Amino acid sequence: MLSSTPTMVAGPGAFAPLDRTLALARRTGRGATWVSGAALIVTCLLVSVEVLLRKLFNVTLGGMDEISGYVLAVSVSWTLSFALAEQAHIRIDVLYNLVEGRLRAVLDLLSLVSLAGFSFLLTYWAGRLLESSIDFGSTSNSALQVPLWLPQSLWFGGLAFFSLNLAALLLRAIGCLIAGDTAGISRIAGIKSVEDEIEDQTDLHAPGSATQG
């Protein structure tokens, strides 16, 4: 839910380090999204090969259903942060669009707190699951016998990164609240307007846009 521009709108000097942290997290999230996308494409190709081999030659690569599940789970966890930065997480905006000013800022802050609470809880239990898998040396119940701590550690890492992003963004929103900058709260934690969506699509299809960011 950061602005779609590379850096946030300048705030008080006291928040400059936090703004730089959020900008760095956004760049890291973008890189993780590219890697996740590439991993999904490769997985789709391998699944296609698996289907063809089974159909034509009755041969299987083995374990592709299991591997694809791991790739999907890890990819989702590592792309959550970039979706947050791009304000791409789905929110129900029926009432949101009917209010403005302080009330809208309150809704933005409430949504951020709710998402952070859910993320922190999910990350905690993911960590507990990872710890349990390490302690018991758990492996997958399949022919591959994959040590579960391997995919779970990557999955947990993505969730932890998302939670840290949310914590930093929440601190920045609280800073805006203390400064009385309700517009700032909506800017970093709000929903993109139709105009913003149109501008993003225009920039995306503009000449040379593929080489930016």
- pLDDT of 84: 92
pLDDT tens track for 117-159: 999 999 999 999 999 999 999 999 988 899 999 999 999 999 9
Residue 17 carries which side chain, given as an amino acid letter?
P
- pLDDT of 10: 42
- pLDDT of 208: 57
Residue 3 falls inside a structural domain:
no
pLDDT tens track for 48-105: 999 999 989 888 888 888 999 999 999 999 999 999 988 888 887 777 778 787 888 8
Residue 29 falls inside a structural domain:
yes
- pLDDT of 122: 97
Q: Give the confidence band of 2 by pLDDT, cuts at 50, 70, 90.
A: very low
Residue 45 carries which side chain, given as an amino acid letter?
L
Top-confidence residue, 41 or 203? 41
Domain count, the chain: 1
Structural domain containing residue 191: 15-196
- pLDDT of 4: 39
- pLDDT of 6: 35
Is the per-residue pLDDT at 114 higher than 90? yes
Residue pair 147/139 in contact by the 8 Å Cβ criterion:
yes
Residue 204 falls inside a structural domain:
no
Residue 47: how many other CB atoms lie within 10 Å: 15
Residue 156 falls inside a structural domain:
yes
Is the per-residue pLDDT at 202 higher than 50? yes
Is the per-residue pLDDT at 1 higher than 90? no
Residue 12: how many other CB atoms lie within 10 Å: 13
Residue 211 falls inside a structural domain:
no
- pLDDT of 209: 53
pLDDT tens track for 3-25: 433 334 444 467 788 889 999 99
3-class state of residue 145 by DSSP? coil
CA distance 60 to 51: 8
3-class state of residue 205 by DSSP? coil
- pLDDT of 178: 87
Q: Report which of 73, 74, 122, 97 is spatially closest to residue 190, judged by C-alpha positions.
A: 97
